[in-house]
DNA sequence: GGGTACATGTAATCAGTTACATGATTTA
DNA sequence: TAAATCATGTAACTGATTACATGTACCC
């Protein structure tokens, strides 16, 4: 048996409902935008189109308000919970993907002026600083109900470290694109990983 | 004027051709799979469907073999080069995206057994170790023509550091999921970024 | 009571993926 | 010359995104 393999977005929806109890699409949207989007983002419209499909598969149940906004509230079924557990238990088959226009543009920046590279780097410092801040904020809220959330903060700590690394890297590029390229060129066939030159964690607060 | 905004894949194709001279789809595939896919991956079929569209826009020129495989070789035009330069010069509008099933599953793993989490972590150690290795290999080749490649290695160094961080993180989780979750729980509202406990760079070679 | 922001959706489009299929070249 | 692998593509599908549209609640 087993359901015909769901999309990742569908699994995310199931997980959120398994995790936080019955929710409306809007509540899901809120949580996902704040907490999950760091690692898997998608537009809110899918939160309205996917749950009905999951209902048809018997993985969710829908209750609808009679009055006012006629909100739909979705609840995970036993069968849905089993699907979630099975999915979590199997190691991922697809490789992790990064889609980072900043890194992509840097890669091809040999045809750019150094000044353009510097602008790029500065914009990325902003972007990653903001990401670090919003992730930290989301994690701070996860203070409540510590037993249930177990690994949320564990992954969050990785996220913070990763954003910190990005900020340090782009600062380095912004400071001097040419020197930075030069440093990377040394060593011939062996390339050293980037190491922040300053002690970590000087990302300014809110 | 200006072209009607291209997809990122189309920009990647233009960049590769601006970068490395005339290429067939298969040559593009080879380079992208080895070097670019770390930051922006996509299936090879697009390398056959997109270039004709770019030709229609006047950004590429196509030459076709008369004999044998009748390969199509694409060359960037002056207009294409201008588009590339303009694209590189403007800072990215879209936020970077991570799509990592490992982190996603960890996030929701409160309903899993610790043993399942450990399996997950071990699989991710493998995945990121392999990524670090293939990235290092690709960068080693970029030894040739250092002037032209300028920033490739610079971004590559970031990539290596990032994979190293991932490996260290997942090793930590694999060693003891519970302790790791416990450590993340401390501190109440403030969450500390993950720091590798061992000195970096003990990823085994080949 | 009028404006603004919040909330809830639908429909069309399209980029990206999957699945398939065949031709050319190399190797045993 | 058969098998295996490398190389080149096509077509159908579908998940995801964009654009739109409207209703509800709150605030001044």
Q: What is the pLDDT of residues B83-134, one digit of tens each?
A: 999 999 999 989 999 999 999 999 999 888 899 999 999 999 999 999 999 9
Q: How far is the CA of A70 from the C1' of D25 (A)?
A: 14
Q: For residue B204, what are the contacts with CB-CB under 8 A and spacing of at least 6?
A: B129
Strand D, nucleotides < 7 Å from a protein CB: these are 7-11, 15-19, 23-25
| Dist. CA B72–CA A158, nearest whole Å | 45
State the best of A191, A192, A196, A197 to mutate against chain B, taking most chain B CBs within 10 Å: A191
Whether A94 and B84 lie within 8 Å, measured CB to CB? no
Q: Quick one: which residue's CA is nearest to D9's C1'?
A: B48
The pLDDT of residue B180: 83
**Beta-bridge partners for B73:** B63
At residue B184 the predicted structure's pLDDT band, cuts being 50, 70 and 90, is: confident
Q: What is the spatial distance between Cα B194 and Cα A163, in angstroms, rounded to a whole number?
A: 11
- Contact: B107, A36; criterion CB under 8 Å: yes
| Mean pLDDT rounded to a whole number for chain B | 89
Tell me what pLDDT residue A188 has.
Answer: 76
Q: What is the mean pLDDT of residues A156-172?
A: 97
pLDDT at B132: 96
Residue with the two structure tokens 């990325």: A124
Element (H, E) at A71: none
A201/A161 Cα distance (integer angstroms): 9
B87 touches chain A (CB under 8 A): yes
B8 closest-nt by C1' vs CA: C15
Q: Report the residue from A12, A87, A150 with minimal CB separation from B181.
A: A150
More confident call, B71 vs A76: A76
Nearest Cβ partner for B92 among A101, A136, A160: A101
Tokens at A118, concatenated: 């510097």
The answer to whether B166 contacts chain A (CB < 8 Å) is yes
Segment 23-82 of chain B within 8 Å of chain A by CB: 36, 38-41, 81
| B144-CA/D8-C1' distance, Å | 29
Is residue A206 over pLDDT 50? no
Tell which residue, B143, B201, B119, has the closest CA to residue B167. B201
Please indicate if any CB of chain B lies within 8 Å of the CB of A175: no
Residue–nucleotide distance: A30 CA to D6 C1' (Å): 49
Residue-level pLDDT at B1 = 47
**A52: nt with nearest C1' to CA:** C9
Q: A104 and B136: CB-CB below 8 Å?
A: no
Nearest in space to B96 (alpha carbons), one of A12, A125, A75: A125
pLDDT above 90 (res A82): yes
Per-residue flag: A201 CB under 7 A of strand D: no
A–B CB contacts, 8 A cutoff, strictly below: 277
CA distance A177 to A30: 39
Mean pLDDT of A90-106: 95
Cβ neighbours, 10 Å, residue B19: 18
pLDDT of B51 strictly over 80: yes
Q: Do A165 and B161 make contact, defined as CB atoms within 8 angstroms? A: yes
Q: Which candidate from A96, A159, A192 shows the least CB-CB separation from B101?
A: A96
The residue in chain A having the minimum alpha-carbon distance to the alpha carbon of residue B13 is A108
Q: Contact, B31 vs B37, CB < 8 A?
A: no
Tokens of A10: 């569908």
Average pLDDT (B179-192) is: 82
CA at A22, C1' at C7: how many angstroms apart? 18
Which nucleotide has its C1' atom closest to residue A43's CA? D17
Closest CA to A35 of A128, A153, A205, A147: A153
Mean pLDDT, residues A135-159:
83
Contact map slice: A 91-150 vs B, CB within 8 A? 91-113, 116-117, 119-120, 123-124, 127-128, 131, 136, 139-140, 143, 146, 148-150
Interchain contact, A157 vs B112, CB within 8 Å: no
Query: What does the pLDDT average to over A12-40?
Result: 95
B84-94 confidence digits (pLDDT tens): 999 999 999 89
Q: Are B51 and B13 in contact (CB under 8 A)?
A: yes
pLDDT at A186: 80
């Amino acid at each position: 048996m087993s359901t015909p393999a769901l999309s990742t977005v569908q699994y995310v929806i199931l997980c959120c409902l398994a995790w936080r109890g019955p929710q409306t699409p809007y509540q899901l949207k809120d949580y996902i935008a704040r907490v999950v989007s760091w690692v898997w983002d998608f537009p809110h419209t899918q939160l309205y189109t996917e749950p009905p499909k999951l209902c048809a598969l018997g993985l969710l149940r829908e209750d609808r308000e009679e009055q006012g906004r006629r909100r739909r509230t979705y609840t995970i079924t036993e069968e849905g919970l089993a699907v979630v557990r099975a999915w979590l238990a199997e190691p991922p088959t697809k490789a992790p993907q990064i889609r980072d226009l900043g890194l992509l543009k840097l890669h091809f920046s040999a045809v750019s002026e150094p000044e353009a590279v510097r602008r790029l780097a500065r914009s990325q410092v902003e972007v990653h600083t903001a990401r670090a801040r919003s992730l930290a904020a989301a994690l701070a809220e996860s203070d409540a109900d510590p037993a249930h959330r177990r690994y949320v903060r564990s992954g969050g700590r990785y996220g913070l470290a990763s954003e910190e690394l990005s900020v340090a890297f782009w600062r380095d590029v912004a400071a001097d694109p040419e020197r930075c390229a030069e440093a990377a060129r040394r060593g011939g066939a062996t390339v050293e990983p980037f190491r922040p030159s300053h002690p970590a964690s000087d990302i300014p607060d809110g």
